[in-house]
Amino acid sequence: MDRGDYQTDEPLYLDTEDNCDENKTTTSISFPLQASWNDLNGLTATWTPEMIFRLSAISVLMLLTLLGNAVVIITIISCAELRKKRVNVFILNLAVGDLCQCFVSMPSYKLFMAFSQWRLGAVVCKLAGYGIVVGVAITILLLTAMSIDRYQVRVHDEFS
């Protein structure tokens, strides 16, 4: 069946009927299948000063993340002496992971905040969710690997 067969424009309501003759209660629930969270709660997207501040702060953080990590990447790649150290390779990979967060997680959050619902479709929603999870996993694994590496250097001097 087509997905459109199940769509309805009726609002969410709970209808209860008491049948005294048969001593039973029937309940029916009807709700729109493609309604947004704000439609169900009666909220609308309003541009409050708090929302404008949040969006501005995220934009500034995105810019600083982009500039800072770009400087780290360019510095490590351009200097051959820095590329030889194992910790700098970890830092380079961590900068790339941070850029993934900058390009996937932050814009997704900004768009969701600006429109108060997801407007980019189901495919982009799944890809953005996947990108966010992968970016966080990359960061966690790299920090763990860096911690293990630093522990080995501290305890066993032969690994430096």
CATH number of the domain within which 149 lies: 1.20.1070.10
In this structure, the answer to whether residues 60 and 104 fall within a common structural domain is yes
Same domain, 131 and 53: yes
Range of the domain at 17: 3-41
Read off the pLDDT of residues 7-32 as tens digits, 9 standing for 90 and up. 455 554 444 444 444 554 544 444 44
Residue 12: DSSP 8-state: P
% of the chain residues with pLDDT over 90: 36
Residue 98 corresponds to which tokens in the numbers above?
A: 């941070």
- Same domain for 27 and 74: no
pLDDT at 143: 93
On whether both 36 and 75 belong to a single domain, the answer is no
Please tell me the pTM assigned to this model: 0.63
Percent of the chain as helix, strand, coil, to the nearest 5: 70, 10, 20
Q: Are residues 153 and 131 in the same domain?
A: yes
Written as one string, the DSSP assignment of 90-156 is HHHHHHHHHHHHHHHHHHHHHHHHHHSS--SHHHHHHHHHHHHHHHHHHHHHHHHHHHHHHHHHHH-
User: Do 71 and 109 fall within a single domain?
Assistant: yes
Render pLDDT for 84-134 as a digit per residue (tens, 0 to 9): 888 899 999 999 989 988 998 899 889 888 888 888 889 999 999 999 999
For residues 32 and 88, membership in a common domain is answered with no
55 and 37 housed in the same domain:
no
The total number of structural domains in the chain stands at 2
